[in-house]
Structure 1
Amino acid sequence: MRIFCAILIFMVCSIRGESSLICDSEFCVCHHNNKGDREVFGEIVDCSYDPNLLKKNFALPETAYTLNLSRNNLTKVQFSLVLKSDTLSELLLNSNQITDISPDAFRLSNLKRLDLSDNDLQIIHKGTFDRLNKLEYLNLANNKFATFEEITFHHLRDLKEIVLDNNNLGPSLEDNNLFDRNGYGLTQKIQSLSISGINLEIVHENFFVYAFDLKRLIISNNNLSETFEFPFTLEYLDISNNPISEISEEDFINLVALRVLKLNNLMIKEIPGYAFESLHSLTNLELERNKNLVNFSATAFGMEVLEDADDFVLETLSLKGSRLTSLDEQLKVPFGQLIRLDLQGNFWNCDCNLKWIKKLQIHPDDYDHLRCYTPKQLYNSRIFDLDEKFFTCAIKSPSRHIVVTISVITFCLLLTSLAVWVYMFMPRSQTTCDLAHMYSGAGYSMLPVQASTMRDPL
């Protein structure tokens, strides 16, 4: 009997050892999420820094919600009990060295978020995501994908957000439709797309033709030299860090729902009139680090807001780090409505034309680098530390060519006047005939020269 009990205890311990919970691992930390939101209610399992974790026979808690397997130096993802769950909603495999994922690795029927960023993936095998029917968020940033055809996720019907940043996908997308219906493209349900830093040079006219519900687009850090036709459904747009040299009113005319626009570090020289007039929903505008930007039109937001800004919904505007020297005082009405205005890091000319800026409600955190560049005596002075009396405009002296012209004309007039005076008031010169006639009339006779020089005889 004792032998039987010992054998039974051994078997129970063996079975328990084969399927022990991952929370018993020395590399894992488990804690319960007590937030009121039922969607995120469950066990959070953090198992970083264990490269052999997937090879061990651990099981997840029955209420597991998040599993963090980042920074484990994993090179391959294959099936494991850790990757089998009916409750897991978020899986983090980022910051590893993964080069391959087995098609049957993921058996997570309720997974909604998958992070595979910062790995060495070049291909996603067909069928890899077949059991992830509820996946909504997929991050593949900072891998080594070079062709869009190597990523098959068209069947992910619930996928709403995808991040493809810093993969060399640009060349393969120049002639392909991003939302291709033939198998490898994105679905029409995509609401957020990030393709920053993919070496994209051209966005052809059909690039977003089937993006019927795209609300968020990040296409920064590429080689785009001109704007393109944006999906009219956008609410968030970031085209920063591209060599775009010009923007116009026509670029944003159909983006009636756009709330956030980021135009940082472009090659633009000016913000033309009416450029943002049609953006009636815009609340946040960034125009930072535009090193060539020297002109901001007073009518950039239209003419009406210069007198009545009641319908002006913009809340934050940043122009820091550009090359602006002045702003038109007509902007004081719309700028006075802003909650946050950042004008730091420009080449401000602190004269009478800029004095009106001191009347704006600038946040104290944005004072320090809001400084004068000219005139020389005010260089590097903080604008909000200066008294208004220092904001003066010198009387402009006439230019050199005007002075020279006036001098020449004056000299010519003096010469002409002198000539007229001489002609009118000086006596006329007498001729030889007039002198001879004058002397003959006086009764004198001319003596011979010889007679006048001879002496009388003694």
Structure 2
Amino acid sequence: MRLLYTVLAIVAYSFKAESSLVCDSDFCVCHHNNKSDREVFGEIIDCSYDPNLLRRNFSLPETAYTLNLSRNNLTKIQFSLILKSETLAELLLNSNQINEIALNALRLANLKRLDLSDNKLEVIHAGTFDHINNLEYLNLANNKFATFEKISFHHLGELQEIVLDNNNLGPSLEDNNLFDRSGYGLTHKIQALSMSGINLENVYDNFFVDAYNLKRLTISNNKLTDTFEFPFTLEYLDISDNPINEISEEDFIDLVGLKELKLNNLQIKEISGYTFASLHSLTSLELERNKNLVNFSAEAFGKEVLDDADYFPLETLSFKGSRLTSLDQELEVPFGQLIRLDLQGNFWNCNCNLKWIKKLQIHPEDYDHLRCYTPKPLYNSRIFELDEKYFNCATKDRSRHIVVTISIVSFCLLLSSLAVWVYMFMPRSQTRCDLANMYSGAGYSVLPMHVSTLRSPL
């Protein structure tokens, strides 16, 4: 009888262990999300910093929404009860040491967001995503991927956003199409794509021809020297931190729906006229840290905006950390209606041509590093703390006056030198004989007066 009780106790304990909820353990912290949005209604479960969690037989509550397994020093993802749920919508596996995901390990039918960033993944086998068909967001940044052929997206038909940052995938794009339809490629449903720091040197023609719905594209921190054919559907574009040395109106001519543009840390020297004239929906523009940018055309947004700000949709503009010395006063009308304008960190020449800047509504947070670079007496002065009387062109006028003075003095010295030369080397007077001798060789002579007046007799 005692043996029977022992067996029953073991069975009961086993059943209890298998059915124990992770929220009842001492290893995880759970709290209920009471937001009114039903889509995010459920338990938020934080099980980070526990490397042995997947080895325990814990299950998720029926209302689980988010599960955080980050920073657990995990190396392999295998099947576990905690990775089986009909309600879990978000799984965070970032910042581990994961180098392998076993097939069928993820049995999360309703999973919408999966973060696998900051791991050591090199391959994602076909079948890995078989049971997460509803995934909409996937983050694979900062892994060890070197080719798209080792990442299978075949079952992710609902995927809308993917992050591939800081994987050495650029060279593989010379031979593979990111939107390949044979199995591993992304589907045309992708709306947001980030490929920052993937060692990309060139984007070939028609690269995005199958990206019918792409709205956000981040392709910063690569080795691109030229712009490429941007998808006309874009609303957000970031090509910062590339050695691109020229941009023009033709680059953005088809981006009528673009709202946010980032052109930071390029090699461009100027923004010419009408460069952004076709961007009728643009509300935010960043031109920060452009160390060669010294000229910004007054007509960069077109000529119409100079007279009528109704043609100017821009709300925020930043030149922070570039090399501009001045801006044309014609920009006062459009810049005057900006919600945020950051001009800090440039080499501003605080003369009469820059006085109009003080009329703009600059945000107080953007005052501190908005300073003069020249003239020397005003170096490092805060522009918005300077009285307008200091914004003059006296230095320029003084220089012009000096040049004129030097020219006049030089001319006077030249005349004086010529006069001295004439005085020193020309005879002071000449005698009548000397004059006669001067004409002695003439072909005729002067007749005496009395001879010329005599009349011949009749």
Q: Give the TM-score, by structure 2 length.
A: 0.89
Match of 2:174 in 1: 174
Residues 48-105 of structure 1 show CA distances to partners (whole Å, capped at 9, x for unaligned) of: 1111111111111011111110000000001111111111100000000000001110
Match of 1:243 in 2: 243
Match of 2:26 in 1: 26
Match of 1:156 in 2: 156
Alignment of 1:35-50 (within 5 A): 35-50=35-50
**Structure 1 unmatched ranges of 5 or more:** 436-458
Residue 434 of structure 1 deviates from its aligned partner by 7.6
Match of 1:234 in 2: 234
Residue 209 of structure 1 deviates from its aligned partner by 1.1
Match of 2:432 in 1: 430
Match of 1:109 in 2: 109
Residue 183 of structure 1 deviates from its aligned partner by 1.4
Relative to structure 1, the CA distance from residue 432 to residue 330 in structure 2 (aligned partners, 3 Å threshold; closer, same or farther) is closer
Q: Residues of 2 paired with 1:399 and 1:166: CA distance?
A: 58
Contact 1:177 1:206 in 2 (8 A): no
Relative to structure 1, the CA distance from residue 260 to residue 428 in structure 2 (aligned partners, 3 Å threshold; closer, same or farther) is same
Residues 216-242 of structure 1 show CA distances to partners (whole Å, capped at 9, x for unaligned) of: 000001010111110000000000111
1:213 and 2:213 matched: yes
Contact 1:90 1:114 in 2 (8 A): yes
Q: Residues of 2 paired with 1:434 and 1:63: CA distance?
A: 132
2:358 alignment partner, SS class = helix
Residue 400 of structure 1 deviates from its aligned partner by 8.9
Relative to structure 1, the CA distance from residue 433 to residue 79 in structure 2 (aligned partners, 3 Å threshold; closer, same or farther) is closer
Relative to structure 1, the CA distance from residue 433 to residue 299 in structure 2 (aligned partners, 3 Å threshold; closer, same or farther) is closer
Q: Residues of 2 paired with 1:375 and 1:3: CA distance?
A: 97
Q: Residues of 2 paired with 1:433 and 1:54: CA distance?
A: 127
Q: Which has the larger radius of gyration?
A: 1
- The farther-off stretch of 48-57 and 270-279 is 48-57
Match of 1:61 in 2: 61
1:118 and 2:125 matched: no
Match of 1:300 in 2: 300
Query: Which amino acid in the other structure matches residue 132 of structure 2?
Result: L
Q: Residues of 2 paired with 1:227 and 1:434: CA distance?
A: 88
Q: Residues of 1 paired with 2:233 and 2:66: CA distance?
A: 32
Q: Residues of 1 paired with 2:243 and 2:187: CA distance?
A: 30
1:360 and 2:360 matched: yes
Relative to structure 1, the CA distance from residue 246 to residue 432 in structure 2 (aligned partners, 3 Å threshold; closer, same or farther) is closer
Match of 1:369 in 2: 369
Relative to structure 1, the CA distance from residue 173 to residue 57 in structure 2 (aligned partners, 3 Å threshold; closer, same or farther) is same
Relative to structure 1, the CA distance from residue 434 to residue 251 in structure 2 (aligned partners, 3 Å threshold; closer, same or farther) is closer
1:138 alignment partner, SS class = strand
Q: Residues of 2 paired with 1:131 and 1:91: CA distance?
A: 14
Q: Residues of 2 paired with 1:110 and 1:227: CA distance?
A: 39
Match of 1:51 in 2: 51
- The percentage of aligned residue pairs carrying the same residue is 73
Q: Residues of 2 paired with 1:386 and 1:328: CA distance?
A: 20
2:432 alignment partner, SS class = coil
Residues 394-423 of structure 1 show CA distances to partners (whole Å, capped at 9, x for unaligned) of: 21544999877766766676788999999x
Contact 1:78 1:105 in 2 (8 A): yes
2:332 alignment partner, SS class = helix
Match of 1:450 in 2: none
1:431 alignment partner, SS class = helix
Alignment of 1:62-81 (within 5 A): 62-81=62-81
1:268 and 2:268 matched: yes
Contact 2:188 2:212 in 1 (8 A): yes
**Structure 2 unmatched ranges of 5 or more:** 438-458
Relative to structure 1, the CA distance from residue 108 to residue 431 in structure 2 (aligned partners, 3 Å threshold; closer, same or farther) is same
Residues 346-373 of structure 1 show CA distances to partners (whole Å, capped at 9, x for unaligned) of: 1111000000000000011100000001
Q: Residues of 2 paired with 1:421 and 1:308: CA distance?
A: 70
Relative to structure 1, the CA distance from residue 183 to residue 299 in structure 2 (aligned partners, 3 Å threshold; closer, same or farther) is same
Q: Residues of 2 paired with 1:286 and 1:433: CA distance?
A: 86
Contact 2:206 2:229 in 1 (8 A): no
Residues 154-187 of structure 1 show CA distances to partners (whole Å, capped at 9, x for unaligned) of: 3311000000000000000123322111211110
Superposed CA RMSD in Å reads 2.6
Relative to structure 1, the CA distance from residue 353 to residue 434 in structure 2 (aligned partners, 3 Å threshold; closer, same or farther) is closer
Q: Residues of 2 paired with 1:4 and 1:174: CA distance?
A: 69
Q: Residues of 2 paired with 1:255 and 1:55: CA distance?
A: 51
- The farther-off stretch of 91-100 and 175-184 is 175-184
Query: Which amino acid in the other structure matches residue 241 of structure 2?
Result: N
Match of 2:82 in 1: 82
Residue 205 of structure 1 deviates from its aligned partner by 0.6
Contact 1:115 1:140 in 2 (8 A): yes
Q: Residues of 1 paired with 2:92 and 2:301: CA distance?
A: 43
Contact 2:18 2:59 in 1 (8 A): no
Q: Residues of 1 paired with 2:133 and 2:402: CA distance?
A: 78
Contact 1:174 1:200 in 2 (8 A): no
Contact 1:176 1:207 in 2 (8 A): no
2:352 alignment partner, SS class = coil
Residue 25 of structure 1 deviates from its aligned partner by 2.4
Query: Which amino acid in the other structure matches residue 158 of structure 2?
Result: D
Q: Residues of 2 paired with 1:432 and 1:318: CA distance?
A: 86
Query: Which amino acid in the other structure matches residue 430 of structure 1?
Result: R
Contact 1:141 1:163 in 2 (8 A): yes
Q: Residues of 2 paired with 1:27 and 1:79: CA distance?
A: 19
Query: Which amino acid in the other structure matches residue 194 of structure 1?
Result: S
2:309 alignment partner, SS class = coil
Contact 2:67 2:90 in 1 (8 A): yes
Residue 23 of structure 1 deviates from its aligned partner by 1.4
Q: Residues of 1 paired with 2:367 and 2:187: CA distance?
A: 46
Alignment of 1:257-336 (within 5 A): 257-336=257-336
Residue 18 of structure 1 deviates from its aligned partner by 2.5
Q: Residues of 1 paired with 2:401 and 2:234: CA distance?
A: 52
Residue 433 of structure 1 deviates from its aligned partner by 10
Q: Residues of 1 paired with 2:260 and 2:291: CA distance?
A: 21
Residue 11 of structure 1 deviates from its aligned partner by 3.5
Residue 8 of structure 1 deviates from its aligned partner by 5.1
Residue 5 of structure 1 deviates from its aligned partner by 7.4
Relative to structure 1, the CA distance from residue 333 to residue 428 in structure 2 (aligned partners, 3 Å threshold; closer, same or farther) is same
Contact 1:147 1:172 in 2 (8 A): yes
